[in-house]
Amino acid sequence: MSDEQGPPVAPERDAEGLVSPDSPQFQVAAKHPQRVERTTAVLFLASLVGFVGFGIAYTQNGSTQWLGLTIGLGMLAFGFAMAAWGKFLMPRGPFEEPRAPMATTKEEKEAFVSDFATRGKVAVERRSFLVKLMGAAAAILGIVAAFPLIRSLGPLPGKSFYKTAWRKGSYLTTIDNRRVKVGDVEVGGVLTVFPESDVGGAISQTILVRPQTTAIVTKPGRESWAPQGYIAFSKVCTHAGCPVGLYEEQVQQLLCPCHQSLFDIYAGAEPIFGPAPRPLAQLPLFIDSSGYLRAQAGYDEPVGPGFWERGGTT
Amino acid sequence: MIDNLFNWIDDRLAISRGGRHLLNKIFPDHWSFMLGEIALYSFIVLLLTGIFLTLYFVPSESSIVYHGAYLPIDGQHVSQAFASTLDITFSVRGGLLIRQMHHWAANIFIGSAVVHLLRIFFTGGFRRPREVNWIVGANLLILGIFNGFLGYSLPDDLVSGTGIRIAFSILESVPFAGSYLATFLFGGNFPGNGAIIPRFFIIQVLILPLAILGLLSAHLGMLVRHKHTQFKTPGAREDNVVGTPLWPTFMTKTLAFFFLTTGITVLLGAVAQINPIWQYGQYYPWKVSYAVQPDWYMGWLDGALRVMPSWEIHLPGHMIPNVFFPAVLLPGITFTVLMMYPFIEERLTGNVAEHHLLDRPRDRPVRTAFGCAVFAFYFVLFGASATDVLANYLNLSLNFVLWTFRILCIVVPIVVFPVAYKICKELEGVPEGGKRKVHNLIVRDPAGGYSTIPAEEYPGYESIELEPVDVEKVESLTAAAAAKNGDGRTEGVYEIPREYR
């Protein structure tokens, strides 16, 4: 039967008990080594051809595919050749080496500890003042060294998480520096806008939506914020800060493509689906006498994702 | 000449003292021991291809007008990082191949590290005395994941730029120090003052690779010190190691494996497109593309961000943001438990002995079931990073897909645990289960009768079990053979016997 094996075959030993070189352990694993040698030779030849091919492909400015296929197949052939050599043309073994337990003995430990402790004691005995002074100096060094390493990297956060560049009267401006006028956005249209002083700004970016033609009231106190159906929200997602870039006109929702949070425009961009925990901040708008869309004021809350000092506003 | 050179060096560095033990180091023959080698060799590929890339990449966010080989964006303003990545792709000869190899090698590096970790876990290879090496290995994985993320962020393209934005928010979400960490690293509120690409660059090409190299040396150093673990093959005991010696057998095989790993990476780089940044375009903070998925090893974190309910903790004057839980707390707990696992198991089982023989996973049903359940949890999270793509392809509502994943994260581990446990218990009752079956050949003899003979495992390969020979005894063997030959020749020792020449 094929899966029934006798006990492992012991190596042959001579009169002195030494392992004989004729033992099967020292013979190659292959039954027909010549065959394996032939295969290995063919594989090495193939790798040689592949490597030469790469040289040619490189000098001829060959495509990525030619460069990679030549040298890659060459390496595979080389690897298979080496594998066949190692597996079939070398003594099959198995061989063993002894292994001692890792744990040290009690004597070894004690000798080490006593050397360490006695010498250490001699070194610091009656010099506790020096030790304290050394410790103090090293501690100060550690603290002051942290300043250039960490503190120089960037400014303190300060008010940068609370303020955007939107101010009272800021014009809504497109990425190509054009002020947005009434009529620039069709009903069902959407536009990314910035304050003029920060066009392209990552934190000030705002999404202007026009769902309808009459004023939209999202929340009490926001009666005048969305004149003639123009409504603007911070485009920075309150979840992980991605741009809330997709406007779904039929349901009047904004979708963040990163983690699929949905915000209900008519409800003041309240999150209705996904991981976003807070509504997008709404920018109060007005239409000036020349028909330009402008901000009544800046955002009344920090835009974007949360942070420790942000406080408990929901 | 060679002798003289060897003597000269050896007289000064004493290589032969102790070097012999290194030549004789025994490597057990089991396929699963190659997983760590894949990680090692793909790291070497990463170093080599990475050096090439640094020669051309310009780590700068400064804007330039692009006039390179990629015509669709000719004349547009792009960052130098993006432009130089396009130059590597389209102008440097062999550049795209090297870039794609580098990216593939990163995926293979972390992938093989994870599978290697699973092998160590399920076979109990982390047990005393190897707990420290387990922790070193876990840190190598963490550093690998960080460096992978930094690496694919460098080209400043639209997909990776969105990833950097999310990374900023995650950093910002850390209680107490978050806003400081984020503004210090980025040089201000997002997107910072142009510092992030240069900083990511130096961390990615110098600091983390050095840390990985250091830990890798420690990892392999401890491996040599502890010697390999081994399965309970014939002759394998707690006080020995059975396998093939380093020189020349294992050296040949492992060199073969280096070429196979590298060869596969080259072929992937040649024919399997990865990270086509010219299709994504330059990153701008107000732009975003649809179906944004990170590289696979970040998938579980992205999935966790998606399935996390929209909760936050509000305290008087302070808050703990939503992303903190899936993106800081979850990985924090994950890697802490991972590193502590050897000690947890030691405490629970009371088994504090040294172990050099590996378990078969079925023989430790609780550990195996626990490992499967935990892995299943992360696998579900990984799947959850594709909620949008799945909803699109399967024509389902996003709502349905998300809720499915939220439920699966809890249900799948609960189901996997008892199933894995039961399978282990069943396998314990089948001693021969899992053993490779040798095919039988039905042969008709000249008289017309039929008989069955076992087929050869490999053509020309004899499958008999042999008792191991102590490799350190080979010296006396060599002397004995020389004496027997009477002329100082040592034929037959570690050589192909005459009849096979």
B354–A101 C-beta distance less than 8 A: yes
Cα dihedral A121, A123, A127, A133 in deg (nearest 10) = -110
Residues B337, B464, single domain; the answer is no
Q: What are phi and psi of A80, to 5 degrees?
A: -65, -35
User: DSSP code of A224?
Assistant: T
Q: Which of A76, A100, A103 sits opposite B263 (nearest CB)?
A: A76
Q: Which residues in chain B have Cβ-Cβ distances shorter than 8 Å to A96?
A: 26, 235, 240-243, 468-471
pLDDT bucket at A8, cuts 50 / 70 / 90: confident
A28–B288 C-beta distance less than 8 A: no
The whole-number average pLDDT for the span A1-14 is 63
In angstroms, rounded to a whole number, what is the distance separating the alpha carbons of residues B404 and B355? 42
Closest by Cα among A48, A123, A90 to B493: A90
In angstroms, rounded to a whole number, what is the distance separating the alpha carbons of residues B257 and A105? 39
Closest by Cα among A56, A63, A52 to B97: A63
In angstroms, rounded to a whole number, what is the distance separating the alpha carbons of residues B314 and B179? 17
Cβ contacts below 8 Å, chain A against chain B, sum to: 395
In angstroms, rounded to a whole number, what is the distance separating the alpha carbons of residues B42 and B107? 9
- Give the pLDDT of residue B500: 36
In angstroms, rounded to a whole number, what is the distance separating the alpha carbons of residues B160 and B200? 12
Bridge partners for A210 per DSSP: A189
Residues A81, A28, single domain; the answer is yes
Closest by Cα among B362, B401, B400, B372 to B384: B401
Helix (H) or strand (E) holding B315: strand B313-315
Looking at chain A, how many residues does it have? 314
A69 lies in some domain: yes
CB B269 within 8 A of CB B389: no
Sort strands B240-245 and B440-444 into parallel, antiparallel or unpaired.
Answer: unpaired
Q: What six digits make up the tokens of B414?
A: 């609960």
- Give the pLDDT of residue B480: 54
Looking at chain B, how many residues does it have? 501
B466 lies in some domain: yes
Q: Which residues in chain B have Cβ-Cβ distances shorter than 8 Å to A58?
A: 93-94
The whole-number average pLDDT for the span A47-64 is 97
B51-89 pLDDT per residue, tens: 999 999 999 999 999 999 999 999 999 999 999 999 999
Closest by Cα among A278, A273, A284 to A304: A278
CB count within 10 Å of CB B201 equals 20
Q: What six digits make up the tokens of A229?
A: 């159906």
Q: What six digits make up the tokens of B431?
A: 């001693």
**Interface membership of A276 toward B (CB under 8 Å):** yes
- Give the pLDDT of residue A314: 45
CB B270 within 8 A of CB A69: yes
B305–A259 C-beta distance less than 8 A: yes
B378 lies in some domain: no
A37 lies in some domain: yes
ipTM beyond 0.85? yes
User: Helices marked H in B231-329 — which ranges?
Assistant: 251-271, 277-280, 299-307, 324
- Residue for token digits 């964006």? B73
B387 lies in some domain: no
**Of B359, B387, B419, which one is at a domain's C-terminal end?**
B359
**Of B359, B384, B415, which one is at a domain's C-terminal end?**
B359
Sort strands A262-264 and A270-273 into parallel, antiparallel or unpaired.
Answer: antiparallel
Residues A178, A303, single domain; the answer is yes
Phi-psi region of B453 (alpha: psi -120 to 50; beta: other; left: phi over 0): beta
Write a three-state SS string for A55-120. Answer: HHHHHCCCCHHHHHHHHHHHHHHHHHHHHHHHHHCCECCCEEEECCCCCCCHHHHHHHHHHHHHHH
Average model confidence (pLDDT) across chain A? 91
In angstroms, rounded to a whole number, what is the distance separating the alpha carbons of residues A69 and A57? 10
Quick check: A3 pLDDT over 60? no
Q: Which residues in chain B have Cβ-Cβ distances shorter than 8 Å to A11?
A: 466-467, 469
- Residues 121 through 180 of chain A touching chain B, CB cutoff 8 Å: 150-151, 153-157, 160-161, 175
Q: How many domains does chain A have?
A: 3
Average model confidence (pLDDT) across chain B? 91
- Give the pLDDT of residue B429: 85
A80 lies in some domain: yes
Helices B95-123 and B365-384: crossing angle in degrees, nearest 10, is 150
A196 lies in some domain: yes
A238-274 pLDDT per residue, tens: 999 999 989 999 999 999 999 999 999 999 999 999 9
Quick check: A212 pLDDT over 80? yes
A165 lies in some domain: no
**Interface membership of A309 toward B (CB under 8 Å):** yes
State which residues form the domain around B463. 442-500
**Lowest model confidence (mean pLDDT) among A123-137, A165-179, A248-262:** A123-137
**Interface membership of A59 toward B (CB under 8 Å):** no
Quick check: B453 pLDDT over 80? yes
CB A96 within 8 A of CB B27: no
CB B240 within 8 A of CB B227: no
- Give the pLDDT of residue B61: 95
Q: What is the CATH number of the domain that holds A303?
A: 2.102.10.10
Q: Which residues in chain B have Cβ-Cβ distances shorter than 8 Å to A35?
A: 459-460
- Residue for token digits 């330059």? B282
A8 lies in some domain: no
B392 lies in some domain: no
A129 lies in some domain: yes
Residues A177, A144, single domain; the answer is no
Closest-CA distance, B418 to chain A, in angstroms, reads 31
**Of B342, B359, B376, which one is at a domain's C-terminal end?**
B359
B424 lies in some domain: no
* Burial zone of B218 (CB within 10 Å; 0-12 exposed, 13-18 middle, 19+ buried): middle
CB count within 10 Å of CB A46 equals 17
In angstroms, rounded to a whole number, what is the distance separating the alpha carbons of residues B337 and B377? 14
pLDDT bucket at B495, cuts 50 / 70 / 90: very low
Chain B residue with Cα closest to A279: B310
Q: What is the CATH number of the domain that holds B339?
A: 1.20.810.10
- Give the pLDDT of residue B259: 98
3-state secondary structure of B52: helix
Closest by Cα among B133, B126, B137, B138 to B364: B126
Residues A136, A48, single domain; the answer is no
Q: Which residues in chain B have Cβ-Cβ distances shorter than 8 Å to A260?
A: 306, 387-388, 398, 402
The whole-number average pLDDT for the span A122-127 is 81
**Interface membership of B392 toward A (CB under 8 Å):** no
Closest-CA distance, A5 to chain B, in angstroms, reads 8
B317–A86 C-beta distance less than 8 A: no
Residues B349, B467, single domain; the answer is no
In angstroms, rounded to a whole number, what is the distance separating the alpha carbons of residues B248 and B228? 18
Q: Which of B311, B323, B481 sits opposite A240 (nearest CB)?
A: B323
Quick check: B340 pLDDT over 90? yes
- Residue for token digits 């002798």? B3
In angstroms, rounded to a whole number, what is the distance separating the alpha carbons of residues B39 and B212? 12
**Lowest model confidence (mean pLDDT) among A127-136, A213-222, B26-35, B487-496:** B487-496
CB B156 within 8 A of CB B61: yes
Residues A247, A291, single domain; the answer is yes
Chain A residue with Cα closest to B25: A97
Q: Which residues in chain A have Cβ-Cβ distances shorter than 8 Å to B456?
A: 31
Terminal-to-terminal C-alpha distance of chain B: 28
The whole-number average pLDDT for the span A135-158 is 91
In angstroms, rounded to a whole number, what is the distance separating the alpha carbons of residues B274 and B148? 14
Q: What six digits make up the tokens of B67?
A: 């006039």
Residues B316, B455, single domain; the answer is no
A155–B129 C-beta distance less than 8 A: no
DSSP secondary structure string for all residues of B16-45: HHHHHHHHT-EE---GGGHHHHHHHHHHHH
Closest-CA distance, B324 to chain A, in angstroms, reads 9
Sort strands B318-320 and B313-315 into parallel, antiparallel or unpaired.
Answer: antiparallel
Close Cβ partners of B470 (under 8 Å, ≥ 6 residues apart): A95, A96, A97, A98
Residues A185, A282, single domain; the answer is yes
A9–B466 C-beta distance less than 8 A: yes
- Give the pLDDT of residue B487: 56
CB B284 within 8 A of CB B157: no
In angstroms, rounded to a whole number, what is the distance separating the alpha carbons of residues B304 and B396? 20
pLDDT bucket at A5, cuts 50 / 70 / 90: low
- Residue for token digits 């002894």? A98
State which residues form the domain around A82. 24-88
CB B310 within 8 A of CB A294: no
Q: What six digits make up the tokens of A112?
A: 């080490």
Peptide bond into A94 cis (omega under 30): yes
Closest by Cα among B99, B265, B45 to A71: B265
* Burial zone of A220 (CB within 10 Å; 0-12 exposed, 13-18 middle, 19+ buried): exposed
Quick check: B404 pLDDT over 50? yes
Residues A177, A258, single domain; the answer is yes
B438–A308 C-beta distance less than 8 A: no
Cα dihedral A180, A186, A192, A195 in deg (nearest 10) = 20
Closest by Cα among B205, B279, B207 to B55: B205
Burial readout B49-65 (b: 16 or more C-beta within 10 A, e: otherwise): bbebbeebbbbbbeebe
B172 lies in some domain: yes
Residues B456, B329, single domain; the answer is no
Close Cβ partners of B307 (under 8 Å, ≥ 6 residues apart): A275, B326, B381, B384, B402, B405, B406, B409
pLDDT bucket at B362, cuts 50 / 70 / 90: very high
Residues B117, B246, single domain; the answer is yes
- Residues 343 through 382 of chain B touching chain A, CB cutoff 8 Å: 354, 356
A90–B270 C-beta distance less than 8 A: no
Quick check: A81 pLDDT over 80? yes
Q: What six digits make up the tokens of B72?
A: 């669709």
Amino acid at A11: P
A74–B306 C-beta distance less than 8 A: no
Residue B127, Cα to own-chain centre: how many angstroms?
20
- Give the pLDDT of residue A1: 33
- Give the pLDDT of residue B496: 41
Interface test with A, best of B259, B260, B463 (most A CBs within 10 A): B259
A101 lies in some domain: no
Q: Which residues in chain A have Cβ-Cβ distances shorter than 8 Å to B190?
A: 202-203, 241
Residues B96, B215, single domain; the answer is yes
Residues A209, A304, single domain; the answer is yes
Q: How many domains does chain B have?
A: 2
Q: What six digits make up the tokens of B252?
A: 């040949």
Beta strands (DSSP E) in B55-130 are 63-65, 77-79
Q: What six digits make up the tokens of B299?
A: 């998938």
Residues B471, B327, single domain; the answer is no
B225-258 pLDDT per residue, tens: 999 999 988 889 999 999 999 988 999 999 999 9
